[in-house]
Chain A
Amino acid sequence: MNYRRVPTVDELYADDEALILTDVRAVRVSGIGPKLLAILSDQWQSESALVAGMEELFGSPDTGSARDHVVGALTQLLDQGLVESDDPVDGIALAT
């Protein structure tokens, strides 16, 4: 599955948290979410590429697999409306 960021109005980063302003509300992002947002862009990226990018920039997690951490964070970002996937069921948009 591929993922990309949706456009935002403004973003604020502090410590391990981020605040993202969309057209409708301010959304708080914590955990590895802010780091993942830094890697995501408006271009589609595969889950594998995102896992590799996170490991390259931030190393492996202390516990669990990097993939599990990234998938969990992506699911949360999808729920928060900050990311879309090309999954026709769970995602917002279809890849073109």
Chain B
Amino acid sequence: MSPDLRFLDIEALGVPIRLHVKAEPDTAASILDELRHAWQLCTTTGQPPTRHLLIWLSDDLAQDPPHGFDGLAQHRNLPHLLQIATQQITRLAILGNAGRYLMLHAAGLAHPVTGDAVAFVAAGGTGKTTLCRTLGPKWAYLTDETVAMDQSDQIVPYPKPLSIREPHRNAKYETAPTDLGLKVPTVPARLRSIVFLERQPDWAGPIQVTDLPVFDAIVELTPQSSSLNRLPRPLHLLAELHARLDRVSKVVYGEAATLEPFIADLIGAAR
């Protein structure tokens, strides 16, 4: 039987992306089902796709995307394949918004009623997903990866699946936000605070919060932003954002759950 090619349309940060799945027919159908479930909060609004990603379950590894595709996710192992697909979708979404939005490498939670939002800035693998998984159900989920906002600080939600490592299993699994009790806000989300996460696993005391002056904040933000140079006068933009926000802080903590009162102070207790 020859490999089957099926597709699913999603929108990531407003970028319409067609996910093309290539695998044996039965497998392709189940991969498509997994993608449809994992990306259920990023459904298409009907825009025709402007980016095409090939998701290919295969032992053979190609170097570049085939002609007609903007990205390639390829692996022989399904969980790894889906994780690579998520990374590629994020890459295409960021590329599609370069010069349009300020994009921070951050998780985002919002108050479900007011839309007041906080961005938790951190490098990959340093606590964003765990924070969303732990505290996200108490507020509304915007993203665990990229906070993108327009000039009025309105955030474009990117409620992507979360990569979760299950106990006793090596691979991370792309998990639908709804499976973790996460919901997107029903009102527009507007950024009110930025918090730089500094998780120290051995940290046992109360969380330590330090407010950052504007230059300190910009120096920290710059390496955690995407395509910043494509925005007009980016340093001035960040300085003006700093002035508008309620707080820009760094927090040292051990466990994500201990951040709950701090977040409630920033955007209000939710439920």
Please count how many residues in chain A sit with their CB below 8 Å of the partner chain's CB atoms. 12
Of the stretches A4-12, A36-44, A46-54, A61-69, the one at the interface is: A4-12
- Using CB atoms and an 8 Å cutoff, list the residues of chain B in contact with chain A: 214-215, 218-219, 222-223, 228-229, 233-236, 239
Residues of A1-49 at the interface with B, using a CB-CB cut-off of 8 Å, are 9-12, 14, 17, 19, 21, 23, 25-26, 28
Q: Is the CB of A28 within 8 A of B222?
A: no
Q: Is the CB of B234 within 8 A of A19?
A: no
Residue contact B215 to A10, C-beta cutoff 8 Å? no
CB distance from A29 to the nearest CB of B (A): 10
A25 and B222 in contact, given A9-B229, A12-B239, A17-B215 (Cβ under 8 angstroms)? yes
Kindly list chain A residues whose C-beta atoms are within 8 Å of the C-beta of B219: 19, 26, 28
Q: Is the interface of B mostly helix, strand, loop or mixed?
A: helix
Q: A21-B229, A25-B223 are known contacts. Are A10 and B218 too (CB-CB below 8 A)?
A: no
B139 to chain A, nearest CB (A): 30
Q: Is the interface of A mostly helix, strand, loop or mixed?
A: strand
Does A21 lie within 8 Å of B239, measured CB to CB?
no
Given the known A-B contacts A17-B215, A19-B218, A26-B218, are A12 and B223 also in contact in the complex, defined by CB atoms under 8 Å? no
Which residue of chain A is the closest to B230 with respect to CB atoms?
A9
Q: A21-B234, A25-B223 are in contact. Are A12 and B229 (CB under 8 A)?
A: no
Closest B residue by C-beta to A27: B219
Which of chain A's residues has its CB closest to B222's CB?
A26
25 contacts between A and B (CB under 8 A): A9-B229, A9-B234, A9-B235, A10-B233, A10-B234, A10-B235, A12-B215, A12-B235, A12-B236, A12-B239, A14-B214, A17-B215, A19-B215, A19-B218, A19-B219, A21-B222, A21-B228, A21-B229, A21-B234, A21-B235, A23-B229, A25-B223, A26-B219, A26-B222, A26-B235
